């Protein structure tokens, strides 16, 4: 790919309405859960799911990102950053049944908190990424595949090191999710929004390749459900969380999203060689979430059999697209112009490529 694997995976990175507390259904005892972070993207979905399942949640964060969320739950203030760390609110003898770490990308910050809470929680869950894997050239990557544990200093390497730290500090009492692209409500990244915005607002949308290239994603609400279920069951180990066992093709991905948001846009599928070699259109960078099989065959063919056997469930693309677009629209993302953060084609460039393609027919 034009974009390096390190850069690509670092870009991967829930219901909009806050869940209302309900009586615990009896499937698991009520637990005291400490969420590190909890107000950005994955965090709110985790908190909503925990509350809906009847658990007691405490948040530890800076109080900067969406501080208005969850006004009725306890909030501890502090900071986890390389230049300013304040964990004083977590010091002492207080215990929690489980800790969920959805915050830093730096392994050193994970180690600080994990060590501080050692002996004061029965279970530590760390949100990781498929970015930890070293080789995407072949399909079927399992949890036993080689990782960047000896290659710190960038997103995938830091995640791999953090996983190892949590595993060593909490033997037999830890969970790790290696997620693929996480999509859904509260995702303010450019990748999925690029497609939703174009489908909603344009008459014709350039779609890359034949539509047969695979794509994997997980809805943030399904990831949250997996995390809370892991806490309730005290599931130990590392799991790939990467979507349904049935392969999802890019055509199904875009058409499913189009139908879900009521779009009338026409998808024009353009030959991949024409895009890349004649027009200089880059996979993933210019066409977000598109990773052709002839570039990194394994990137969107991660093996998720272990988590599926353990009971993970995934909703269809239509549900994710509908919820994501509802959230995007409510925050007036329609005014965004692309590219954002280097992702996506501008409308002018897209029209130029489409004109060149149509001229060949």
Residue 262's domain is classified under what CATH number?
Answer: 3.90.25
- Model pLDDT for residues 247-286, shown as the tens digit of each residue: 899 999 999 999 999 999 999 999 999 999 999 999 999 9
* Rounded Cα–Cα distance for residues 257 and 279 (Å): 26
Question: What average pLDDT score do residues 28-50 get?
Answer: 95
* Rounded Cα–Cα distance for residues 33 and 47 (Å): 9
Q: Which two tokens stand for residue 129?
A: 């990424």
40 band by pLDDT with thresholds 50, 70 and 90: very high
Question: Is the same domain home to 110 and 203?
Answer: no
* Rounded Cα–Cα distance for residues 305 and 126 (Å): 20
Question: Is the same domain home to 266 and 330?
Answer: yes
Q: Are 142 and 308 in contact (CB under 8 A)?
A: no
Question: Is the same domain home to 232 and 265?
Answer: no
Question: Is the same domain home to 45 and 105?
Answer: yes
In angstroms and rounded to an integer, the radius of gyration of the C-alpha atoms of the chain is 21
Question: Is the same domain home to 12 and 149?
Answer: yes
Question: What average pLDDT score do residues 125-146 get?
Answer: 97
Question: Is the same domain home to 221 and 344?
Answer: no
Name, in order, each residue with C-beta under 8 angstroms of 42's C-beta and a sequence gap of 6 or more: 14, 102, 127, 182, 220, 223, 224
| Count: domains in the chain | 2
Residue indicated by tokens 């999802």: 248
Question: Is the same domain home to 336 and 197?
Answer: yes
328 assigned to some structural domain: yes
Of 212, 26, 240, the closest CA to residue 133 belongs to: 240
pLDDT of residue 188: 79
* Rounded Cα–Cα distance for residues 354 and 360 (Å): 10
Q: Are 197 and 56 in contact (CB under 8 A)?
A: no
Question: Is the same domain home to 257 and 289?
Answer: yes
176 assigned to some structural domain: yes
Residue 64's domain is classified under what CATH number?
Answer: 3.40.50.720
E strands, the chain, in order:
32-36, 56-61, 74-77, 98-101, 124-129, 174-179, 181-183, 204-208, 217-219, 237-241, 266-270
Query: DSSP for 2-70?
Result: -S-HHHHHHT----SSPPPP----SSS---EEEEES-SSSHHHHHHHHHHHTT-EEEEEE-S-SSTTS-
Range of the structural domain that residue 261 is part of: 190-215+247-296+317-351
Question: Is the same domain home to 178 and 257?
Answer: no
Question: Is the same domain home to 105 and 203?
Answer: no
306 assigned to some structural domain: no
- Model pLDDT for residues 162-217, shown as the tens digit of each residue: 999 999 999 999 999 999 999 999 997 899 999 999 999 999 999 999 999 999 99
24 φ/ψ angles, rounded to the nearest 5 degrees: -60, 130
Question: Is the same domain home to 99 and 160?
Answer: yes
304 assigned to some structural domain: no
């Amino acid at each position: 790919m034009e974009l390096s694997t390190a850069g690509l995976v670092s870009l991967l990175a829930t219901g909009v309405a806050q869940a209302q507390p309900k009586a615990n259904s009896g499937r698991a005892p009520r637990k005291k859960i400490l969420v590190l972070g909890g107000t950005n993207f994955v965090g709110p979905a985790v908190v909503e799911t925990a509350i809906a399942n009847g658990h007691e949640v405490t948040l530890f964060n800076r109080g900067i990102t969406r501080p208005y969320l969850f006004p009725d739950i306890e909030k501890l203030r502090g900071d986890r950053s390389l230049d300013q760390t304040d964990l004083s609110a977590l010091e002492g003898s207080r215990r929690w049944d489980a800790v969920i770490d959805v915050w830093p990308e730096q392994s050193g910050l994970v180690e600080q908190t994990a060590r501080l809470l050692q002996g004061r929680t029965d279970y530590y869950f760390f949100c990781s990424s498929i970015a930890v894997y070293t080789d995407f050239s072949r399909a079927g990557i399992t949890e036993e595949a080689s990782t960047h544990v000896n290659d710190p200093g960038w997103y995938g390497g830091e995640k791999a090191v953090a996983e190892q730290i949590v595993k060593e500090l909490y033997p037999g009492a830890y969970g790790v999710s290696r997620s693929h692209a996480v999509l859904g409500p509260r995702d303010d990244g450019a990748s999925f929004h690029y497609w939703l915005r174009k489908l909603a607002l344009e008459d014709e949308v350039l779609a890359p390749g034949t539509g047969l290239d695979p794509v994997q994603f997980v809805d943030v609400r399904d990831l949250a459900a997996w995390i809370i279920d892991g806490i309730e069951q005290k599931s130990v180990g590392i799991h790939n969380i990467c979507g349904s066992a049935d392969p999802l093709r890019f055509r199904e991905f875009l058409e499913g999203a189009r139908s879900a948001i009521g779009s009338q846009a026409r998808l024009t599928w353009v030959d991949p060689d024409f895009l890349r070699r004649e027009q200089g259109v880059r996979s993933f960078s210019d066409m977000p979430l598109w990773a052709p099989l002839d570039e990194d065959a394994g990137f969107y063919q991660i093996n998720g059999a272990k988590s599926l056997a353990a009971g993970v469930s995934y909703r269809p693309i239509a549900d994710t697209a509908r919820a994501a677009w509802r959230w995007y629209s409510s925050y007036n993302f329609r005014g965004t112009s692309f590219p954002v953060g280097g992702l996506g084609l501008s409308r002018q460039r897209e029209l130029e490529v489409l004109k060149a393609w149509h001229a060949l027919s």
